[in-house]
Structure 1
Amino acid sequence: MEKVSVNSVYSIKQVADMLDIPTVTLRAWENRYNAINPIRTDAGYRMYSMENIEDLRWLKKQVEHHHMNISQAVLMLKAREKEKQELITAPKQQAGGNIEEAFSKMTDQIYQTLYHFQGERANALIDFGFSLYGYDSMFYHVLVPVLVRVGDAWESGRATVAQEHFMTSLISQRFFQFFHLFPIFPQLPKVVAFCPEGEHHQVGLMLFSLFMRKNGAEVLYLGASTPVEGVIQVIGEQHVQIVCISITSASKVIQTDAIVSQIAKEHEQVHFVLGGKGYEMAENPAYPQWIMKEPTEKWQEWLEKHPLFRQHG
């Protein structure tokens, strides 16, 4: 069976389904207007990268929502690309090539706009960051630090509940816009991901869910503070094979271990992934075999060794 890669490219049919753009339109935009340049296989088939897909998404928005003709939209896209290349070079020259400083500056800019409820400005900055640095870099080096900073500000009283909800909600929406771009491979195990009741910090869970989704697994993301009764019902009805749970405090380990026991009693064949700082600091967890001990850069290696994914390799 074909192995699923995190660095996937997509066929014209997959892109047409993702964006709801007819294949004939995709070919016309390429051939007549040179909108994008997908790579070609040895057999001549078009294969689209995530950058190609986002460019097409942007073009569709200009045509459908801003009533621009495609030739004008393509000219704007090319201008954006030129500006992007100039801006990629500029921060490196100004900061001595230190891209981390550029990430830090963008993190601060997005945080400040969200802190002051400037949603449109924040979305514009995020869009620009995606085009400038790519999706993975923006999520891991900019948006995740923003979410961590938001959580810290709320816990310390530097941000109100309204500010925390606004900031978290907007960034979560951007996560899931990206989340649903990836195709699902039905032969892979279905995953459910949640934080137990009382756990409201879901950054780590979102990242791991995004990673699983990028690898082709269908992930049912239930989010923060989810009652276990609903989870058990979903597992049975949806034939879930992997349950991911994240907690940020070691004080929640006993409660979460009890949830794992309850789920395992109802569904004996289910595999678990237990993560978050809570399990990293746990002294005597009941299910050490399920704890995700690998850092993010090792997740792909972990996945390829997982028995439920190895059989589809």
Structure 2
Amino acid sequence: MNIVYSIKQVSEMLDIPTVTLRAWENRYEAVTPVRTESGYRVYSDENINDLRWLKEQVEEKHMSISQAVLLLKEHKREKRQVHVFSEPPTGSSKEAYSKMSDQIYRTLFQFQAERANGLIDFGFSMYGYDAMFYHVLVPVLIRVGDAWEAGRATVAQEHFMTSLISQRFYQFFHLFPIYPKLPKVLSFCPEGEHHQVGLMLFSLFLRKNGVEVLYLGANTPLDGVLELIGEQHVQLICISTMSVNLVRETDEFVALIAARYPEINFILGGKGYERAEQLRYPDWVMKEPTDKWQEWFERSPYFR
């Protein structure tokens, strides 16, 4: 027989005020207790375990309740094996990802932020964040970048779409635990480089593996970066550029950093470095494809 508990019993058991339990349910959908015919909440053992876990995240790890709920839901999705990390979709899954990507693109193209966020939330619940990022949202970002360069999308449309999807990426940066023994990473695109999709994905990949990442994003002015490296005790720097024309200028800045902080390592990536005829720092250029990142991470001397 399944045991159920009243809200008062749960409050006393977990030392969580009833008003907090109601707020967690109504505002964040932390748990969904069953309602009796009279409208009273009754909680299952699973609800109790979830609430206890959420309380630990909030009180012991100083996580916000909204972040804790997102992380709990992600853990539940992983247990149900709803998504598979870094595996390309095939068959009906590929068609479903393509259809959702197209719906989100068209919605964002028309500046319908609320509807787009609703579609993205639905996608996360259906497929998990890995599949959504790699197979749905990244194609949207690539598509809007191509449309902007071809003149099919305005600057306003490109900024709006990129900004909204980038915000969804950032939401997950703080959900993963950080392992202090791993090097702190600074991640940015150089000034003049506005394409940050690859860098964003790589930075999120590092965060999932427990690396603390200071993400500065696209078109980062170099003023102040040298000071930031020293102040934040950065040990590894990731720089990405899609433009071959920016490689030489970026390498000059890498040389400045290396001269001032000789112990720092670098990871240089993007199509700019892939297409460059001559590489000043070939040992620092990231050559592994996305599906090999985990293998690279596990054997990399940077993270041992």
CA distance in structure 1 between the aligned counterparts of 2:297 and 2:31, rounded to whole angstroms: 39
Aligned residue number for residue 281 of structure 2: 287
Deviation of 1:162 after TM superposition, in Å, equals 0.7
Deviation of 1:292 after TM superposition, in Å, equals 0.3
1:141-220 alignment, distance < 5 Å:
141-220=135-214
1:185-217 deviation digits (Å, cap 9, x = unpaired): 112100000000100100001000000111111
Which residue among 32, 44, 63 is the counterpart of 2:43? Answer: 32
1:1-313 alignment, distance < 5 Å:
32-33=43-44, 34-35=46-47, 56-57=69-70, 97-310=91-304
User: Residue 67 of structure 2 contacts residue 175 of structure 2 at CA under 8 Å; is this kept in 1?
Assistant: no
User: Residue 294 of structure 1 contacts residue 302 of structure 1 at CA under 8 Å; is this kept in 2?
Assistant: yes
1:104-130 deviation digits (Å, cap 9, x = unpaired): 100000000000000000000000000
Inter-CA distance 287–28: structure 2 relative to 1 (3 Å threshold): closer
CA distance in structure 1 between the aligned counterparts of 2:68 and 2:123, rounded to whole angstroms: 14
Taking only aligned residues, the RMSD between alpha carbons, in angstroms, comes to 3.1
Please tell me the residue identity of whatever aligns with 2:94: E
CA distance in structure 1 between the aligned counterparts of 2:275 and 2:71, rounded to whole angstroms: 44
Bigger relative CO (Cα 8 Å, ≥ 6 apart): 1
Inter-CA distance 152–36: structure 2 relative to 1 (3 Å threshold): farther
Please tell me the residue identity of whatever aligns with 2:168: R
3-state secondary structure, aligned to 1:229: coil
3-state secondary structure, aligned to 1:236: helix
Please tell me the residue identity of whatever aligns with 1:302: W
Deviation of 1:56 after TM superposition, in Å, equals 3.3
CA distance in structure 1 between the aligned counterparts of 2:67 and 2:124, rounded to whole angstroms: 9
1:275-311 deviation digits (Å, cap 9, x = unpaired): 011111111010000000001111111112222312x
Moved over 6 A (4+): 25-31
CA distance in structure 1 between the aligned counterparts of 2:48 and 2:110, rounded to whole angstroms: 37
CA distance in structure 2 between the aligned counterparts of 1:181 and 1:58, rounded to whole angstroms: 6
1:241-288 deviation digits (Å, cap 9, x = unpaired): 000000001121111111111111111011100001111111101000
* Percent of residue pairs bearing the same amino acid type: 65
3-state secondary structure, aligned to 1:179: coil
Inter-CA distance 299–36: structure 2 relative to 1 (3 Å threshold): farther
Please tell me the residue identity of whatever aligns with 2:211: A
Please tell me the residue identity of whatever aligns with 2:218: A
3-state secondary structure, aligned to 2:159: helix
Please tell me the residue identity of whatever aligns with 1:129: G
Please tell me the residue identity of whatever aligns with 2:271: K
User: Residue 108 of structure 2 contacts residue 161 of structure 2 at CA under 8 Å; is this kept in 1?
Assistant: yes
User: Residue 257 of structure 1 contacts residue 285 of structure 1 at CA under 8 Å; is this kept in 2?
Assistant: no
CA distance in structure 1 between the aligned counterparts of 2:31 and 2:251, rounded to whole angstroms: 55
CA distance in structure 2 between the aligned counterparts of 1:57 and 1:104, rounded to whole angstroms: 25
Please tell me the residue identity of whatever aligns with 2:262: E
CA distance in structure 1 between the aligned counterparts of 2:98 and 2:49, rounded to whole angstroms: 32
Larger radius of gyration: 2
Inter-CA distance 283–178: structure 2 relative to 1 (3 Å threshold): same
